[in-house]
Structure 1
Amino acid sequence: MTLGHVIARPGVDCGQVLLRPCTTSFGDGNGTPVGHIDDEGRDLNLRDPGYTESRCTGICDPFTARCFCDGKHRRVNPPKGSPPGTPAPVSDDGNGTKLEWGQVPWKHIYGPDGWCNSDKPVVKCACLFDGFAGELCDEVTETVCPNQCSGHGECDSGFCKCHAGWYGTDCARKVAGQPMEPGHLESKARPWLDDLVRIAPEAEAAARAASVPAGGGFSFQQTRQRPLIYVYDLPPAYNARMLQYRNDRGVCVWRAFESGNRTAIFEWTYGLEVLMHEMMLQSEHRTFDPEQADFFYVPVYSSCFIFPIHCYADGPWWHAPSGPRVMHVTNMMLEVRDWVRKHFPYWDRRGGRDHVWLMTHDEGACYAPTEIYNSSIFLTHWGRTDGEHASNTAFTPDNYTQEYVHPRQPDGWLHLIKGHPCYTPGKDLVIPALKLPHHFRDSPLLFHPPRERHFLLYLRGDVGKHRLPNYSRGIRQRLYKLWREHEWKARYNVLIGDGSDVPGSYSEHLASAKFCVVAPGDGWSARLEDAMLHGCVPVVVMDGVRGVFEDQLDFSSFSIRVREDELEGLPARLAAVPDKVLARMQQRIRTVWHRYVYASHPLIAKTLQGAINGNVGAWRQQILRDMADAKAGPEAVERVASRMAERASFPAADDAFNTILMWLHARLPHTQ
């Protein structure tokens, strides 16, 4: 059998094989995962009832539950050069019998001109899996790992298999006494790593020190910038294996490799989870000496587990099969905490006060284990402060106030999370969600030629048309109803609705609005970030919920808070804001907006500067047109454009990541 992955394995010598076969059902969580495939990876009987997302009409990889082609271009023993495609589940068995769980006609996948049999298929499937590209998914590319294994390892969809003598999550550490050798980055063997890999200063110095024999005289002395952060190398079950199990390269991560190993970036809603890990690994604040550390970062990929890992196949589970997705996160975090305590003394040294956890999913740290939450620092997007709270998500599997009892968890799980708020000012920090440069390319703050701000108020997105009533606490639904019934568009030039109500460029709209609504979704939403990155004054409508950096910045100087019961007269209230007051708020936004952008990763920094350069070029063209109308010479254009280009840079030292580090530095007296 041809295997495509070196799955991150448990055991002292990583010798334990983990199975995750495609299946029709779940087991009891106590033993080997349930599968519904034969030794070749084929479904035992396509007509058998039962369905999970992993059920496969081709050849199943029993280690990742990924479904590959059968037929000519099959997964097992494929002819040389055959493309390992990604077939959709077929809707019939090829003999006229309809399958209740399929989607695509058999002939489109396994017919003579089908995806899995033809060199020129009439229907083409997307290349979903990490590591494949090209029109027929026949091009093998690099896969995504944090910091791409520092160039000293081979990446297998999230798990770094380090080169001899190197170790650690990102292969950044060198075994003592072994000689240094250039990695893929230094040797330029893989030029696509130039914009992705950065070696933390201590990692580079420590590796050089390790390569010098005892008594060799190497000395590494430098003044370190605090805070110093130790990043735990957790077992892969809590992060790397999540990336290996994902069935779509566009989820969990914020970047992927395309044809020719070009890097594509995209906005996965919870993509900060992997990016934060990368930035911590690359940071000059990273330390390899836990005795020197001011803080300890715990890189758990809980949002990636919530989707797409949970319930795709029979496992992994924490600990009962199925049940609320968030319950598994609670159990997982306790398991990680116990692992840290077993292998390191640092949790018990200060009771976890100096340990930092990131929870990026919809309702943030609301369902963090109480015994972890009460002591540790939480970075979250959701600043809900009420002590007695119930889940407000409209997505039932994430409702953290639903009990679930199972033989694997006979006492349920709600007792594990009771007695704490979702966010504690001072102890925790509400941080920006990830917004990449293409999202706000049309913003005047990125030097795009400014537009007239002719929209009084703007909100485009899910307005709850097909949602449960508690979605967004009903705020978006009420605003949409008021907009329609009171003709806010005609009377005030207000835009509220989804894409069918408000078509056009989202970035252009935001850059053309004076005020922008900030309202919750299933929990947090990134509407505040959208507003700030476009210079639009945020109108915050979420009682008892702190916004991003609200407790750190002079938030009221550039935003307006509106109570949830004050929506009816909102346009008239905003129209009455004096122009001078609005101008002051817009000016204040221009002094802090960069703190809502993550620019510390080299690829994002490069992309950001590219967007700025493109906008400066747009300015040059606009000035040229304007001056042509006034019969001015081109030398004036170049003079103005050159002056603008000199100013057109991003203050990366004060981006979102560095703002978080500054806040942690201020927390030092409280964690000692």
Structure 2
Amino acid sequence: LQLLNLTWTYRLHVNAVHLRLVYMSGTVLPANCKRIRHKTHSSGYQLARQSTNGQQTRQQCLKRFLIVNLLLVLYAWSVIEAKPCSPGCTKHGTCNHELGRCDCPRNLTGDNCDEPIKPLARVCKHNGFPSLEECVAETPLRCLNACNRRGRCYGGWCHCHEGYYGADCSLSLDANGRPEQLAGMGFSAAPGPPRIYIYELPPRFTTHKNLDRFDRPLFAHLWKRIISSGHRTTDGAAADYYYVPVDFRYMFSEALLVLQYIQQTWPYWNATGGARHLLLSTSDLGGCEGKQLMRIRNLTAQAVWVTPWGLTRKHPRVWWPGCHRPGLDVVIPIPAQTNGMLRTPLNPRVTPLERNTTFYFSGKICGDNRDPRADTSSWPVCQTATNPLYSAGVRQQVYYHHSKRPGYIVVPRSRSYVRDMSTAKFCLAPTGGGHGKRQVLVARFGCIPVPITDYVLQPFEPELDWEAFSVTVKEEDVPRLHTILGAINDTKLSQMQKSLACASKHLWWSSLWGGIFGDDGRYDAFATLMEILRVRLLHPGAPPEQYRQLDERFRRFADCELDDEPPRNVSLCTYGYDLGLEGIAPTPYCEWRKYGKYGIPGGAICEGALNIAACPRPWQ
């Protein structure tokens, strides 16, 4: 008991005694033995399997893990010993009150952030700023969650007001010295799992970077949504998952430094072996693009990689290595965008057109970036042999076999791209130099995706039943593609289109960037990711293709059939990148432009809310 009390002194919760995610001989350590009652608690699953009696299970828990618990307290005590910041830290910097770390702006360093960085121009260039002025300029709203109005924003970095800390100034200490989030804003945690701990990394790894130079800023949007959705926990010992708020695609040589810092600063990585840590990479090949990223991937074998690339084994003809592990990693949809997205027939304000084209594809076909030959009577169809296995050769094969077929349109470009997808029944969804984006785009326009690349799983597959709304074709079957599609009758096609109308919601991040389908965001990609993580907690080790059978709520969610009512007077603003289409917007456009690439604080679903603690949560 004295040992437990000491942990409070160092701002470690009593729950640190019960670190939930420690793997000892393959067994998950429960967060709290008392939680194991007659109905099995998810964290006590491994123990509860051995006994149907809740009391016996609790006794086993206490006996088997008492010594381990005490050792973990000693370990955590030695790792996270809170220290005060230097007295002058907050004049120019932000004091992380948990770690005693003074976070400085880009142009200053030292314990008190009073030593100028030299040469500053080099630091600014490294962080993606084209000029010194932009590097140090105050940008009131262009920070994560706009600093929650508790700090001043300087090009992505928040100088938090006294007493607040964190990348968005959302954290502070309560009267007992424990961290709390969004204090005084009416914050309430999400009613159910997952609970996600976010590592507050030094800003040199995160908010010192110029997000405007990121073509895929998803890591920052996930970061803010975890906070605004209520899934964040400030108690790392009670967390279900741990989010590392960087995109490893952009970290290069700093990636290893990030992991080393986490291991040296918090006990959770070492205690879990990296398990249940969420690592994001939006690279074309996920966590397997380039030697540096492959090295990080191999060092994080137990972590959950969240990427858009679903190749499960080495491709037999292309050099791509197998990178995705179903049931551990998650394939997510790339937030692909195109002009005229509001013209989709799935928008309730748009009148659907007749789908009189059987099959459609418009885009790059040859790896040499040149148009294919018009004459398809002989192979090869590309003008040079440069990069012949671009898209695993699928685009070239489809062009060769089907571009002249009646009812089939396979072209390198089109001036009526949106209309073409809206009037086609089936659309090719190939890979490119790695992951593709057309499975997301064509689904958004109600065109049945036709993925063709062997061993590649699509976004949220196999958790979602892609067979219900797509036609996956093996590479060897490309010559008879027309036969496969011709066997799908009108009744089956209608069923698939209905399923696709639901699936398209799962494949778009509407709570982040705004709605398209007139929905409230409850089924969007973020909510889908949270649902998958929730089911994994309740059914550890279950094959992901069985989630629908094991969890009724997940089945209803996947089929867009939740029956809980959304909060009253809540409407998700509309993705508003297209000027001139306001007349067909289901709701008013989101006012995102003033926030830059950080977007609306908390995500588009929070627009109009008093603060991010008051964001609607229709999926809960």
TM-score category by the smaller chain?
Answer: 0.5 to 0.7
Q: Residue 21 and residue 472 in structure 1: after superposition, are their counterparts in 2 closer, same or farther (change >3 A)?
A: farther
Alpha-carbon distance in structure 2 between the residues aligned to 1:172 and 1:545:
39
Contact 2:127 2:209 in 1 (8 A): no
Q: How does 1:515-530 map to 2 (within 5 A)?
A: 515-530=426-441
Q: What do the CA deviations read for 1:280-304 (whole angstroms, capped 9, x no partner)?
A: 2322111112122111100113334
Q: Secondary structure at the match of 1:279?
A: helix
Q: How does 1:476-487 map to 2 (within 5 A)?
A: 476-484=395-403, 487=404
Correspondent of 1:163 among 158, 161, 164: 161
Corresponding position of 1:503: 415
Tell me the CA shift for residue 495 of structure 1: 1.9
Q: How does 1:71-150 map to 2 (within 5 A)?
A: 142=140, 144-150=142-148
Q: What do the CA deviations read for 1:357-389 (whole angstroms, capped 9, x no partner)?
A: 111111002244245431011111000001588
Tell me the CA shift for residue 208 of structure 1: 7.0
Tell me the CA shift for residue 130 of structure 1: 8.9
Alpha-carbon distance in structure 1 between the residues aligned to 2:364 and 2:117:
40
Corresponding position of 1:235: 202
Q: What do the CA deviations read for 1:206-229 (whole angstroms, capped 9, x no partner)?
A: 4579xxxxxxxxxx9978421111
Alpha-carbon distance in structure 2 between the residues aligned to 1:437 and 1:462:
15
Q: Residue 566 and residue 651 in structure 1: after superposition, are their counterparts in 2 closer, same or farther (change >3 A)?
A: same
* In the alignment, structure 1 residue 462 sits paired with structure 2 residue 374: no
- After TM superposition, the score normalised by the length of structure 1 is 0.56
Alpha-carbon distance in structure 2 between the residues aligned to 1:65 and 1:560:
42
Correspondent of 2:310 among 351, 373, 383: 383
Corresponding position of 1:563: 474
Corresponding position of 1:347: 269
Contact 2:395 2:430 in 1 (8 A): yes
Alpha-carbon distance in structure 1 between the residues aligned to 2:237 and 2:115:
33
Corresponding position of 1:451: 353
Tell me the CA shift for residue 478 of structure 1: 2.6
Alpha-carbon distance in structure 1 between the residues aligned to 2:344 and 2:315:
40
Matched AA of 2:226: M
Alpha-carbon distance in structure 1 between the residues aligned to 2:426 and 2:475:
17
Q: Secondary structure at the match of 1:568?
A: helix
Tell me the CA shift for residue 471 of structure 1: 1.7
Alpha-carbon distance in structure 1 between the residues aligned to 2:160 and 2:180:
18
Alpha-carbon distance in structure 1 between the residues aligned to 2:311 and 2:262:
28
Matched AA of 1:292: A
Q: What do the CA deviations read for 1:2-22 (whole angstroms, capped 9, x no partner)?
A: xxx952755544456445677
Tell me the CA shift for residue 238 of structure 1: 2.1
Matched AA of 1:423: H
Corresponding position of 1:652: 521
Alpha-carbon distance in structure 1 between the residues aligned to 2:243 and 2:326:
19
Q: How does 1:465-614 map to 2 (within 5 A)?
A: 466-467=368-369, 468-484=387-403, 487-488=404-405, 491-492=406-407, 494-499=408-413, 502-504=414-416, 506-601=417-512, 604-605=513-514, 608=515
Corresponding position of 1:203: 181
Alpha-carbon distance in structure 2 between the residues aligned to 1:154 and 1:392:
48
Tell me the CA shift for residue 590 of structure 1: 2.1
Correspondent of 1:440 among 334, 338, 341: 341
Contact 1:174 1:207 in 2 (8 A): no
Matched AA of 2:534: H
Contact 2:143 2:158 in 1 (8 A): yes
Q: Secondary structure at the match of 2:158?
A: strand
Alpha-carbon distance in structure 2 between the residues aligned to 1:11 and 1:384:
45
Alpha-carbon distance in structure 1 between the residues aligned to 2:136 and 2:111:
28
Q: Secondary structure at the match of 2:467?
A: helix
Q: Residue 462 and residue 10 in structure 1: after superposition, are their counterparts in 2 closer, same or farther (change >3 A)?
A: farther
Contact 1:225 1:284 in 2 (8 A): no
Contact 2:308 2:334 in 1 (8 A): yes
Q: Secondary structure at the match of 2:146?
A: helix
Correspondent of 1:424 among 281, 302, 325: 325
Tell me the CA shift for residue 344 of structure 1: 0.7
Residues matched between the structures, number: 414
Alpha-carbon distance in structure 1 between the residues aligned to 2:428 and 2:168:
40
Alpha-carbon distance in structure 2 between the residues aligned to 1:657 and 1:233:
21
Q: Residue 301 and residue 474 in structure 1: after superposition, are their counterparts in 2 closer, same or farther (change >3 A)?
A: same
Alpha-carbon distance in structure 1 between the residues aligned to 2:188 and 2:141:
36
Contact 2:142 2:155 in 1 (8 A): yes
Alpha-carbon distance in structure 2 between the residues aligned to 1:65 and 1:287:
31
Contact 1:464 1:471 in 2 (8 A): yes
Q: What do the CA deviations read for 1:313-333 (whole angstroms, capped 9, x no partner)?
A: xxxxxxxxxxxxxxx2xx533
Tell me the CA shift for residue 516 of structure 1: 0.8
Q: Secondary structure at the match of 2:209?
A: helix
Contact 1:434 1:598 in 2 (8 A): yes
Q: Residue 232 and residue 657 in structure 1: after superposition, are their counterparts in 2 closer, same or farther (change >3 A)?
A: same
Tell me the CA shift for residue 482 of structure 1: 3.6
Alpha-carbon distance in structure 2 between the residues aligned to 1:498 and 1:379:
31
Q: Residue 19 and residue 453 in structure 1: after superposition, are their counterparts in 2 closer, same or farther (change >3 A)?
A: farther
Corresponding position of 2:374: none
Contact 1:353 1:375 in 2 (8 A): yes
Corresponding position of 2:3: none
Alpha-carbon distance in structure 2 between the residues aligned to 1:130 and 1:558:
47
Corresponding position of 1:289: 235
Q: What do the CA deviations read for 1:598-647 (whole angstroms, capped 9, x no partner)?
A: 1223xx34xx2xx56xxxxxxxxxxxxxxxxxxxxxxxxxxxxxxxxxxx
Q: Residue 391 and residue 130 in structure 1: after superposition, are their counterparts in 2 closer, same or farther (change >3 A)?
A: farther
Q: Residue 659 and residue 208 in structure 1: after superposition, are their counterparts in 2 closer, same or farther (change >3 A)?
A: closer
Contact 2:107 2:136 in 1 (8 A): no
Matched AA of 1:554: D
Alpha-carbon distance in structure 1 between the residues aligned to 2:466 and 2:225:
26
Alpha-carbon distance in structure 1 between the residues aligned to 2:107 and 2:247:
15
Tell me the CA shift for residue 421 of structure 1: 3.7
Q: Secondary structure at the match of 2:242?
A: strand
Corresponding position of 1:338: 260
Q: Residue 63 and residue 503 in structure 1: after superposition, are their counterparts in 2 closer, same or farther (change >3 A)?
A: closer
Contact 1:155 1:161 in 2 (8 A): yes
Matched AA of 2:229: S
Matched AA of 1:233: E
Correspondent of 1:7 among 83, 87, 106: 106
Q: Give the number of the structure whose alpha-carbon radius of gyration is greater.
A: 1
Matched AA of 1:442: R
Q: Residue 65 and residue 283 in structure 1: after superposition, are their counterparts in 2 closer, same or farther (change >3 A)?
A: closer
* In the alignment, structure 1 residue 298 sits paired with structure 2 residue 244: yes
* In the alignment, structure 1 residue 277 sits paired with structure 2 residue 223: yes
Contact 1:392 1:522 in 2 (8 A): no
Matched AA of 2:181: A
Tell me the CA shift for residue 337 of structure 1: 1.7
Corresponding position of 1:123: none
Alpha-carbon distance in structure 2 between the residues aligned to 1:424 and 1:12:
43
